[in-house]
Structure formats: structure tokens, C-alpha cells
Amino acid sequence: EALQAAGLPVRTCDGGTRFDGNKRLAVVGDAAMKTVHVMHWHSGNETRGRVFMNLRSNKNLDRVGTMIHLGNHINKNPSQGNSVPPTTMADTVEAILGVVLKDSDLDHVALVMRNIGLMS
């Protein structure tokens, strides 16, 4: 589900189908990322702008996803051709963090974020 671009059908565990791709997981991942950043900011010396805006921006998430070659693994919407639009890449990075949270905990989300360059 995390690697499904928006507009593609996703089968749910209860047998249903949704057409919003990884959007729901991306919302979970965005919330997890924000929580990790808030906790990191609270215990450190970073400015709010750096933590809350720069690191979590779609531009930065697109940069990180491109850097780790995530586009090679995304099941793209055929209407987008072979390219991965920046918003799709950002949503996919967030969706992966959402999966990590659902499968484990915030400590593991923070570890993944650190490993892919989403922590200062």
C-alpha cells in the first residue's frame, strides 16, 4: 500500500478497495514525522522553522525520496508516465513512515528518519 501512487486501487484487509493509493498511510506518516520532530525539537536547540517547515516540506521529502531511489519502487499511476511527481514522492516517503509506525513504534520511525536524512 505504501508504494501505491494516488489513483491506483488498493485492496484493504477487509476485502474492500480504495482508490486513494498511499494517501491514508501518508497522513499517518506525516503525523508520526511531526511527532518525532516535535520531540526532537523540544529536547534540543533547533529553531522551530528548521524542524517544522524545512525538514517536513514536500520539497525536502521529494529530495530525500529521490536520493534513496524510491521512485524505482513506486507503483505509478499510468497517467503520470514514468516520472514520479514531487508530491507523489513526498506522499510515498510519508506513507513509508506510516507503515513503520503501524508495524512498530515512534522510536523506529525516528530511526528510519535519521537513516534517510529527515533528522537534523
Residue 58 lies in a domain: yes
Q: What pTM did the predictor assign?
A: 0.89
- Establish if 4 belongs to a structural domain: no
Bridge partners of 10? 18
Amino acid symbol at 67: M
- Among candidates 105, 89, 76, 85, which has minimal Cα distance to 4? 76
Residue 74 clears pLDDT 90, i.e. is over it: yes
In a domain, 31, yes or no: yes
Secondary structure of residue 59 in the 3-state scheme: helix
Domain with 26, as residue range(s), is: 10-116
In this predicted structure, the answer to whether residue 117 has a pLDDT above a threshold of 80 is yes
More confident position, 12 or 43 = 43
CATH of the domain at 105: 1.10.1520.10
Give the residue-averaged pLDDT of 56-77.
95
Number of independent structural domains in the chain: 1
Query: What pLDDT, in 10s, does the model give residues 7-41?
Result: 777 777 678 788 888 999 999 999 999 999 999 88
> Nearest Cα to 33, choosing from 115, 114, 108, 109?
109
Nearest to 39 by CA among 109, 116, 112, 117: 109
In a domain, 84, yes or no: yes
